[in-house]
Amino acid sequence: MSKYQPIEDLIYKEAIKNVWNFKTDTKEWFPKQIADWVIHHSTVLRVPETYISIPLLVCIAYCSQHCTVTAGDFHNEPLILYALVCGRSGTNKSASLQTVLDLVGDIENKIFRESHTFDSGTLEGLMMAMRSNDNCVMACFDEFAAFIDNLDKGNSGSS
């Protein structure tokens, strides 16, 4: 018996309807050249623009490394973005993510020699990757179940 329980089709359809009603405007989110790139790749892959634009925003936050955003007069927040791109199996989510990851993979990383991204392993491995990369890493999981399975295994759950 699987530990993952299927959700009712009605609940899934309502969740998808709510997500698809989220208004996005790639041309407002990005400068023209980047918006054109996002639109081009989403057209080629036949996916919604958000399949490309949301992971791209996460990559931009990662590449900003230790930048902060000022919120109010005395409060700074690190530029950290978490994102989840959802869709049924076969909707080309993996190819969309790979398109963006290829961009980041082409950036030379002198500190974290292997890769900018962390996509498998334990939470302790993630912490080690962050320490070796100036406390910055981009964790990418192609399947949400893989992300959930990697959380808090073999530790106190305090990380």
pLDDT in tens, 94-153: 888 888 888 877 777 665 555 666 666 677 777 777 777 777 777 777 676 666 666 555
Same domain (yes/no): 91, 125: no
pTM of this prediction? 0.67
Q: State the average pLDDT for the chain.
A: 78
> Domain range holding 48?
26-107
Same domain (yes/no): 95, 149: no
- Residue 135 inside a domain? The answer is yes
Helix axes 32-45, 50-63, angle to 10 degrees: 130
Of 67, 83, 107, which marks where a domain is finished?
A: 107
Same domain (yes/no): 69, 48: yes
Same domain (yes/no): 95, 146: no
pLDDT at position 36: 96
Tokens of 132: 């070796």
How many domains does the chain divide into?
Answer: 2
The residue ranking higher by pLDDT, 38 or 135, is 38
CB 64 within 8 A of CB 20: no
> How far is it, in rounded angstroms, from Cα 132 to Cα 128?
6
CB 145 within 8 A of CB 139: no
